Structure 1
Amino acid sequence: MARRCAVTGKGVQSGNNVSHANNKTRRRYLPNLQVASLASEALGRVVRLRLSTNAIRSIEHAGGLDAFLGKARSSELTGDVLRLKKQIDKATAKAA
Structure 2
Amino acid sequence: MSRKCMLTGKKANNAYSVSFSHRRNKRLQMANLQWKRIWDDQQGCFVRLKLSTKAIKTLEHRSLHALAKEAGLDLSKYVVK
Q: What TM-score do you get using the length of structure 2 for normalisation?
A: 0.83
Aligned length: 76
Q: 1:12 aligned to 2:16?
A: no
CA distance in 2, matches of 1:49, 1:73: 11
Q: How does 1:69-80 map to 2 (within 5 A)?
A: 69-70=65-66, 72=67, 74=69, 76-78=70-72
User: Structure with the greater relative contact order (CA < 8 A, sep ≥ 6): 1 or 2?
Assistant: 2
Residue 13 of structure 1: how far off its partner (Å): 0.7
CA distance in 1, matches of 2:10, 2:23: 28
CA distance in 2, matches of 1:49, 1:26: 30
Q: Percentage identity across aligned positions?
A: 34
- Superposed CA RMSD in Å reads 1.7
Q: Describe the shift of the 1:18–1:30 C-alpha distance in structure 2 as closer, same or farther (beyond 3 A).
A: same
Larger radius of gyration: 1
Q: How does 1:1-96 map to 2 (within 5 A)?
A: 1-62=1-62, 67-70=63-66, 72=67, 74=69, 76-78=70-72, 82-84=73-75
CA distance in 2, matches of 1:4, 1:49: 11
Contact kept? 2:7, 2:68, Cα under 8 Å:
no
Q: Name whichever structure is richer in helix by fraction.
A: 1
Q: What TM-score do you get using the length of structure 1 for normalisation?
A: 0.71
